[in-house]
Each structure stands twice: as structure tokens, then as C-alpha cells.
């Protein structure tokens, strides 16, 4: 993949708008810009992080990269192939190249399927013979092979997330997209899953797109990070640049408001944290928290729309519902 | 509350006497429980909670002084929220609680107290802030009325003056244009604004004790920083005691002075934040602190995998006997099949349970590392 120097993922002028539900019979419905004019190249083998607060548009962007949603305008190429039209043939091809791991490991595994079937499903969809693959994958993610005959509810959250990773690896993808994969996990299990993601990205030579609201998790995992706010990417840089020397006021604000254990143990109080946050807020142009909240709410509604809620054209809802369930449609 | 032992029942009746309502925080009431330090606001002693034959909390003992902010940390399923609910008298039907929960100025244990008695205490002497502000607020009632209601419920305040005071309270929790906020419904506010409203309700009657259960977990980082400050300053102004539940070590270290670490329904370590999180003794606390250390960046040279605690948190009732952590602990020995005794660590004014640990092989004890 790298010999051609084609970016693993390339976005050009990507926009996504959602129509708000009508509030009056005469007025035109309001439009929410969930993603605005995003252009971005992610190189093969890169570990790319996407951070932002709720409603920033990061999940909508991720859905479009993964072929689960269609941009209103703009182009998305995966390994040089355009996928923004979301033709069935392209999506089938895409699922072999790009796989997903979701936040909620219970919601993303079918409770009525045995683990064996869950991991085999993407293989069947792609017409890949399963052979010994299921046992190999289970071992690869640190699960015993007995797990194959059991059901998702018999596992803890961390184990289910391991199973999700095994399923994602089944069709030998080149790109792994992880949407808040550790947000629902406890600290001790979070460390295990982060180590696992580390291992498989290195071991399978994957390109990683990692979305999180948690800046320290992204810092630990990624080489390069983009910060999103209100649908726009406000800053992109290497992890080092972004965390050591943030340029955009919003990045500075996010970093300022994260409580840190080392600082707190050295005596930093809640009042000091809040003062630092307020100073950064003033710098980033948001007048106060209400502004931040207004932006977040706006985006949250857009996200709700993206998840198949109100305001989305009917045909889109049909597609989204279907694909959101498995995430392995081939 | 579902179970009452005979002695609880006797005490519950004693609770109906008029001195109970007279309990004020300025002068320790003459009937303060067993001549305890009048500065102690909350005492929890030997609290056990069980569902049928499954025991969920074991012998939970701690106390909180006036003006003290105490954190309660642990992973999901460790019993943090259950402890808070037992203190508040909000355990669901089917859960049986034993032991004692005493609040300053109340001469009887709150465990097994009647609902009518608890409802007079809750919202006035102790209040709670929950994780999800949308479910804590009534969606069909204007915000101002909800804040006013908690005052009219617990005092003689008439509706009009309570409404006026509600607007002042909304102003004091930092809501812009409090009069407009008072006239809005919860769904018209953002998550952070709703949590501010919940804080205003909790602080309306100047409680002795504020219990917070993950109050900022659902909020974005920026809003979290501001809401934490608001809660801490509200508690400090009133010199109230606070029990703050979170799974986030950085948050607890920012907000609290002392911390209790729970695992498997037991308190395994307690003490000043700097001791417990800076220099943990219990092997579980050590593992927890190490696993949450993400400060090594991806680009740091020599970045190694994160430290982990092997295995998973067992489901309720499936924790080993003896030391609850022994099946995941690299240092466990035969000795750990027995329950480790509480080892006090240093002198603490709030007693030996305020600082110490329950571990046979504390950090630095054997040839480890």
C-alpha cells in the first residue's frame, strides 16, 4: 500500500449537513452543519487521533470515513478509491479494507450469536474461507479458544471489546477505525484494551483512526492528532506539537481544563483548575460556558440526526440502521 | 430501607421525638450519639448490604468531619454507589442493610428509619447530586419551581419568597440570566447548566452533608472543570461535609482531601489523597494508579505498554473470600485467604479508619519490584 504513496484515507472539502425537524409550517427548516469543509490525508501506517467534545462532529466524520454515512458534499477516498457515493460494490470492498471497533461492546455484538459466528460473519460476507482463523484471532486478542462457543453476555466489558477487535481483524483490514473504544471501560481494563490495540496495530501493520473525547488516551495512542470543534478541524499536528505547544486557542482550552493527577497531588485545587479553564475560555473566543454548551448542543442534535434520528432523509435512515447494527456489513 | 433489626426499630421510634428537628449544627445537640466528636458529620459503621444470599457491601466503616471532602473511588461494581444510596436511605427494595449510618444531630441510626423520617432529612440535612442531571430533574416542571420546592418542603418558607430565593441560588451557581433559567424547563438547558441546577437544589437548604455520585462524568472537560469548582466552593462556603464518588483519580485528587478506595464491596485503603494516590500501600490501589498513568505519550522514547491489573472485576458476589483482590493480585499468598486486618497509617484526627489499608503484602513489604 505504501509503495504507491497513496494516502490510506483522503478527505477533500467534506461537508455534512442535517436538516432540523420543522418547527413551523411556513418557515424553512434549520440546517445543522455537523461537519464543515474537512480536508485531511492520513498516511498508511499512521496512528491518527481525532479529539473533540460531544457534538464536535467527530463521530459524524468517522461515520463518513467508514462509509456509514454520506457527505453532503466533498470527496472521500480510501486507498485511492472514492467511497463518498456509497455504492454497494464500493462498500463491500471498503469493509474488507476498513473495519470498526465501537464504544459500547454490548451494543455492537449481536446477543443471539455465539462468538464464533460473530467473528465468522465478516468472513462469510466477504467470501473468505474461515479455516482456523477464528481460533487464531481469539488467541491473538488474548482470549481462550473456548470463548468461541459462548455468547456475548457471558463476557465482561473488556473481554467483549477484545472480541470486537478480533471481529474487526477477521477480514485482514488495512485500516482500523476505533470510536471511543475504551470510554465505557474501567481503568484497569482500559489499560489492557489500549495495550491490545497497540499490539494489533503494530502486529498487523494497520493504519489506525482513533476517536476519543479523552485527550490523554489519544496522546498515549496516536502519532498525529486533529482537534475538532463545531464540525471543523481547528488544529492538526503531531502528538508532540499539539500537546506541548498547542497553537489554536481551543486546543489550549481543552488541555487547560483536563485535571491531571500529578498536578492535583502537587496541590492543584478545583478553583485553580477552573481559573485556568476560564482564562483559556476567554482566550478561545467563547464568552462563557453557555457558548460552549450551545455549540455542543447544536452538534449533539446533529449527532442524534446522524444516528438515524429526526431530520435525516428517509433513505439514509434505512441505510444507517442496517449498517450500524453489525458494523461488518461486507 | 427494607430491613430493620429490633434495635433499629427502637431507635427509629426515638427519632420521632421533637429534639430531632431541633438539631442545629452550631451547638452540638445534647443527645449527640455516644459523645462522639461534634465535628463528625457522618459516621458509617459496619455497613453490610446484601441482596438475598449475595453480600454486596462488607463492613464498610468510615466517617466524615465537618468541612471535610472525602472521595470514594473504585471500578464499577466495587460498591461505591451502593454505599452512597445506603447513606441516603435510597436503597431499592430487596436490598437488606445492616450496620449503622449516623448523621450529626440525629441520635439514631438512619438505617431502617421510616421513609417519612428519611424524607424530612433528605434534601435538608443531606443532599445528593447524581451523574445524570436530566433524570434528576422533573422534565415537566419549570426549573425555578423545582429549586423553590425543596425549600418549601423543608421549611415554613412561602412560595413567593422561595421563588425569589431560588433565583438567587441559580445566580450563585453561575447560571447566566438566572431569572430566565428559572422560567425554563430542564430540556431547554445544556448538560452543564442542568448540573448547576441540580447543585442549586442540593445546596438550597445548606445541608450538613453533600453526596455526589459521578457528578461530572457525563460532562465535557471544559464544563467539568467549572462544575467541579462550583460544587467545591458551594461546599466550602457552607462548611459542609462531602462524599464524592468518582472513578477518575485525577478528579478525586483535585476535589478531595481524603480518599477511600473500594473494591469488591470493601474499603481496602483510605487516607489523605497525596498518601493514597501518591504512595499507595494496598496492591489494588497500586495497580489502579499504575493503570491510569497515561502521561507517557506515544512519541516518548522507550514508551512501554501500560501497566495493567490482570483479569476482570468479578461480578457481584463472585469476589474471593479473604482478601477480595487476591485472585488478581501478583503478591497473593496462602495468608490472603484470611481477611486482612485494617492497618492504620499514621495518626488521623478522624480515627484509625480514616487512614490505613487492609493488605497482608503492602507495597514495599516483601522482595517485590
Per-residue pLDDT, A189: 86
pLDDT digits (tens, 9 = 90+) for B140-157: 999 999 999 999 988 878
Name all domains of chain A by residue range, CATH numbers in brackets: 46-52+86-248+284-326 (3.40.50.300)
Whether A144 contacts chain B with CB within 8 A: no
- For residue B37, what pLDDT band results from cuts at 50, 70 and 90? low
Interface test with B, best of A264, A266, A272, A282 (most B CBs within 10 A): A264
What is the arithmetic mean of pLDDT over A169-194? 91
Considering the entire predicted model, what is its pTM? 0.83
Q: Over chain B, what is the mean pLDDT?
A: 86
Closest residue to A47, CB basis, from B253, B289, B298: B298
- Rounded Cα distance, A188 and B283, in Å: 13
Mean of pLDDT values over A56-77: 94
- Look at chain B and report how many structural domains it folds into: 1
The percent of residues above 90 in pLDDT, for chain A, comes to: 65
Assign B356 a pLDDT band (cuts: 50, 70, 90). very high
Which residue from B minimizes the CA distance to A259?
Answer: B250
Cβ of A190 under 8 Å from any chain B Cβ?
A: yes
Mean pLDDT of B281-304: 82
Distance CA B55, CA A8 (A): 53
B186, B217, B283, B308, best to mutate vs chain A, most A CBs in 10 Å: B308
CB contact under 8 A, A293 and B288: no
- CB atoms A265 and B233 under 8 Å: no
Phi, psi torsion values for A44, nearest 5 degrees: -60, 140
Q: Which residues of B touch A188 (CB under 8 A)?
A: 75, 287-288, 291, 308-309, 313
**Would you say residue A301 has pLDDT above 70?**
no
Is the pLDDT at B113 greater than 90? The verdict is: no
**Does residue B304 have a pLDDT over 60?**
yes
Q: Is residue B147 part of a domain?
A: yes
In a domain, residue B189? The reply is: yes
What pLDDT is attached to residue B312?
83
Q: Do β-strands A47-51 and A224-229 pair in parallel, antiparallel, or remain unpaired? A: parallel
**In this structure, what C-alpha cell is assigned to residue B6?**
429490633
How many angstroms separate the CA of residue A218 from the nearest CA in chain B?
Answer: 9
The answer for residues whose C-beta is within 8 angstroms of residue A141's C-beta and 6 or more apart is A162, A163, A165, A166, A169, A196, A200
Q: Which domain holds residue B201?
A: 133-208+218-240
Domain-embedded: residue B8? no
Task: Indicate the average pLDDT of chain A.
Answer: 84
**Model confidence pLDDT, tens digit, residues B186-243:** 999 988 899 999 999 999 999 999 999 999 988 889 999 999 999 999 999 999 999 9
Please compute the mean of the pLDDT values over residues A19-28 and round it to a whole number. 78
Count A/B contacts: CB-CB distance under 8 Å.
159
The CATH number that applies at residue B189 is 3.40.50.300
Q: Is A217 helix (H, G, I), strand (E, B) or coil?
A: helix
| ipTM score above 0.85 | no
Residue A310 pLDDT level (bands cut at 50, 70, 90): very low
Please report residues of B whose CB lies closer than 8 A to that of A105: none
Percent of chain B with pLDDT over 70: 87
Q: Average pLDDT in the A59-88 region?
A: 94
| A285-to-A32, A153, A234, B176 alpha-carbon distances in Å | 21, 47, 13, 17
| A253 Cβ under 8 Å from any chain B Cβ | yes
- Mutate which of A51, A272, A293, A301 to test chain B, going by most B C-beta atoms within 10 A? A293
Higher pLDDT, B27 or B117: B117
C-alpha grid cell for residue B97? Answer: 442493610
Distance between B109 CA and the closest CA of chain A, angstroms: 33
Q: Could you tell me which chain B residue has the CA closest to the CA of A183? A: B217
In a domain, B140, yes or no: yes
Closest residue on chain A to B177 (Cα)? A290
pLDDT higher than 50, residue B14: no
pLDDT of the residue at B296: 67
Task: Confirm whether B225 is domain-assigned.
Answer: yes
Q: Is the model's pLDDT at A304 over the cut of 80? A: no
Q: Which of B225, B223, B160, B232 is nearest to B199 (CA)?
A: B232
| Mean pLDDT calculated for residue range B170-197 | 92
Q: Over the stretch B41-72, which tens digit does the pLDDT of each residue have?
A: 999 999 999 998 899 999 999 999 999 999 99
Note whether A215 and A258 are within 8 A (CB): yes
Question: Who has greater pLDDT, B316 or B9?
Answer: B316
Please report whether residue B184 resides in a domain.
yes
Interacting residues of A232 by C-beta distance below 8 A, sequence separation 6+: A36, A37, A38, A57
Residues of B in contact with A199 (CB under 8 A): 305
> What pLDDT, on the 0 to 100 scale, is given for residue B217?
87
Residues of B in contact with A210 (CB under 8 A): none
Backbone angles phi, psi at B342, to 5 degrees: -75, 125
pLDDT at res. B301 = 67
Residue that wins the pLDDT comparison between B298 and A233: A233
Q: What is the mean pLDDT of residues B353-369?
A: 83
Facing residue for A270 by CB, picked from B75, B254, B293? B254
B300–chain A Cβ distance below 8 A for any pair:
no
Average pLDDT value for residue range B109-131: 91
A23: pLDDT strictly greater than 70 = yes
Structure-block grid coordinates of residue B103: 448523621
Q: Which of A273, A297, A300, A303 would best serve as a mutation to test chain B binding (most B beta carbons within 10 A)?
A: A273
- Residue in A188, A265, A268 closest to B291 by CB: A188
Residue in chain A nearest B224 by alpha carbon: A257
For range A216-231, the mean pLDDT: 93
- The answer to whether B250 contacts chain A (CB < 8 Å) is yes
What is the Cα–Cα distance from A321 to A299, expressed in whole angstroms? 20
pLDDT of A293 higher than 70? no
Which of B 273-292 lie inside 8 A of A, CB atoms? Answer: 273-274, 277-278, 287-289, 291-292
Asked whether the predicted pLDDT for residue B6 surpasses 90, the reply is no
Under a CB-based contact definition with an 8 Å cutoff, are residues B176 and A293 in contact? no
Residues 60-79 of B with CB under 8 A from A: 75-76
- Shortest alpha-carbon distance between residue B363 and chain A (Å): 18
Cross-strand partners of B70 = B243, B258
Burial of B109 from C-beta contacts in 10 A (0-12 / 13-18 / 19+): buried
Is there a domain that residue B222 lies in?
yes
Q: How far apart are CA B226 and CA B196, in angstroms?
A: 10
Mutation for A interface: B69, B77, B298, most A CBs within 10 A: B298
Task: Assess if residue B139 is contained within a domain.
Answer: yes
pLDDT in tens, B232-278: 999 999 999 999 999 999 999 999 999 999 999 999 999 999 999 99
Q: Choose between A111 and B134: higher pLDDT.
A: A111
Whether B225 and A187 lie within 8 Å, measured CB to CB: no
What confidence tens digit (pLDDT) does each residue in A134-156 have?
999 999 999 999 999 999 999 98
What is the pLDDT at residue B1? 40
Mark which residues 149-208 of B lie under 8 Å from A by CB: 174, 176, 190-193
CA distances from B340 to A157, B68, B287, B326 (A): 29, 28, 18, 11
Amino acid at each position: 500500500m505504501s509503495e504507491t504513496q497513496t494516502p490510506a484515507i483522503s478527505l477533500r472539502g467534506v461537508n455534512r449537513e442535517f436538516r432540523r425537524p420543522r418547527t413551523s409550517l411556513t418557515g424553512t427548516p434549520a440546517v445543522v452543519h455537523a461537519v464543515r469543509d474537512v480536508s485531511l490525508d492520513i498516511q498508511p501506517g499512521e496512528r491518527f487521533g481525532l479529539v473533540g467534545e460531544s457534538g464536535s462532529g467527530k463521530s459524524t466524520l468517522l461515520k463518513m470515513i467508514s462509509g456509514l454515512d454520506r457527505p453532503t458534499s466533498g470527496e472521500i477516498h480510501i486507498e485511492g478509491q472514492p467511497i463518498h457515493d456509497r455504492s454497494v460494490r464500493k462498500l463491500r470492498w471498503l469493509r474488507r479494507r476498513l473495519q470498526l471497533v465501537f464504544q459500547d461492546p454490548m451494543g455492537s455484538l449481536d446477543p443471539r450469536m455465539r462468538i464464533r459466528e460473530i467473528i465468522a460473519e465478516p468472513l462469510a460476507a466477504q467470501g473468505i474461507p474461515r479455516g482456523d482463523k477464528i481460533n487464531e484471532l481469539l488467541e491473538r486478542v488474548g482470549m481462550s479458544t473456548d470463548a468461541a462457543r459462548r455468547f456475548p453476555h457471558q463476557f465482561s466489558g473488556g473481554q467483549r471489546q477484545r472480541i470486537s477487535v478480533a471481529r474487526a481483524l477477521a477480514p485482514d483490514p488495512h485500516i482500523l477505525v476505533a470510536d471511543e473504544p475504551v470510554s465505557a471501560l474501567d481503568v484497569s481494563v482500559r489499560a489492557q484494551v489500549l495495550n491490545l490495540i497497540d499490539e494489533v496495530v503494530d502486529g498487523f501493520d494497520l493504519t489506525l483512526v482513533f476517536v476519543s473525547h479523552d485527550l490523554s488516551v489519544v496522546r498515549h495512542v496516536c502519532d498525529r492528532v486533529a482537534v475538532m470543534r463545531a464540525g471543523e478541524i481547528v488544529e492538526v499536528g503531531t502528538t508532540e506539537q499539539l500537546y506541548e505547544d498547542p497553537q489554536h486557542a481551543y486546543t489550549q482550552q481543552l488541555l487547560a481544563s483536563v485535571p491531571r493527577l500529578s498536578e492535583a497531588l502537587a496541590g492543584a485545587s478545583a478553583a485553580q483548575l477552573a481559573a485556568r479553564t476560564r482564562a483559556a475560555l476567554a482566550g478561545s473566543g467563547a464568552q462563557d460556558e453557555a457558548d460552549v454548551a450551545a455549540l455542543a448542543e447544536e452538534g449533539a442534535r446533529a449527532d442524534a440526526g446522524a444516528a438515524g434520528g429526526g431530520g435525516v432523509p428517509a433513505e439514509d435512515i434505512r441505510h444507517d440502521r442496517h449498517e450500524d447494527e453489525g458494523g461488518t456489513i461486507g | 430501607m427494607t430491613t430493620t433489626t429490633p434495635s433499629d426499630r427502637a431507635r427509629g421510634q426515638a427519632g420521632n421525638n421533637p429534639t430531632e428537628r431541633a438539631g442545629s449544627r452550631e451547638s452540638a445537640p445534647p443527645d449527640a450519639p455516644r459523645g462522639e466528636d461534634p465535628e463528625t458529620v457522618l459516621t458509617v459503621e459496619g455497613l453490610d448490604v446484601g441482596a438475598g444470599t449475595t453480600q454486596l457491601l462488607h463492613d464498610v466503616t468510615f466517617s466524615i468531619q465537618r468541612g471535610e471532602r472525602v472521595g470514594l473511588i473504585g471500578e464499577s461494581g466495587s460498591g461505591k454507589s451502593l454505599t452512597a444510596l445506603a447513606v441516603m436511605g435510597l436503597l431499592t427494595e430487596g436490598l437488606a442493610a445492616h450496620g449503622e449510618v449516623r448523621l450529626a444531630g440525629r441520635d439514631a441510626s438512619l438505617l431502617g428509619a421510616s421513609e417519612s423520617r428519611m424524607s424530612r432529612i433528605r434534601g435538608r440535612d443531606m443532599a445528593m447530586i447524581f451523574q445524570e442531571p436530566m433524570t434528576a430533574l422533573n422534565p415537566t416542571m419549570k426549573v425555578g419551581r423545582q429549586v423553590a420546592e425543596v425549600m418549601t418542603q423543608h421549611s415554613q418558607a412561602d412560595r413567593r419568597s422561595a421563588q425569589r430565593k431560588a433565583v438567587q441560588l441559580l445566580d450563585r451557581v453561575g447560571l447566566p440570566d438566572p431569572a430566565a433559567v428559572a422560567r425554563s424547563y430542564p430540556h431547554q438547558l445544556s448538560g452543564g447548566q442542568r448540573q448547576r441546577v441540580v447543585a442549586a437544589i442540593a445546596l438550597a437548604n445548606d445541608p450538613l452533608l453533600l453526596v455526589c455520585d459521578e457528578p461530572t462524568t457525563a460532562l465535557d472537560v471544559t464544563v467539568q472543570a467549572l462544575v467541579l469548582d462550583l460544587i467545591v466552593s458551594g461546599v466550602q462556603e457552607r462548611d459542609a461535609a462531602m462524599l464524592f464518588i468518582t472513578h477518575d483519580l485525577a478528579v478525586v485528587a483535585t476535589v478531595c482531601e481524603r480518599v477511600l478506595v473500594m473494591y469488591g464491596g470493601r474499603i481496602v485503603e483510605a487516607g489523605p489523597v497525596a498518601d493514597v494516590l501518591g504512595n499507595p500501600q494496598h496492591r489494588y490501589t497500586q495497580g489502579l494508579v499504575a493503570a491510569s498513568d497515561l502521561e507517557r505519550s506515544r512519541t516518548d522514547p522507550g514508551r512501554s505498554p501500560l501497566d495493567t491489573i490482570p483479569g476482570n472485576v468479578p461480578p457481584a458476589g463472585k469476589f474471593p473470600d479473604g482478601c477480595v483482590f487476591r485472585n488478581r493480585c501478583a503478591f497473593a499468598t496462602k495468608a490472603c485467604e484470611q481477611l486482612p486486618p485494617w492497618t492504620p497509617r499514621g495518626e488521623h484526627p478522624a480515627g484509625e479508619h480514616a487512614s490505613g489499608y487492609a493488605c497482608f503484602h503492602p507495597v514495599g513489604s516483601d522482595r517485590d519490584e
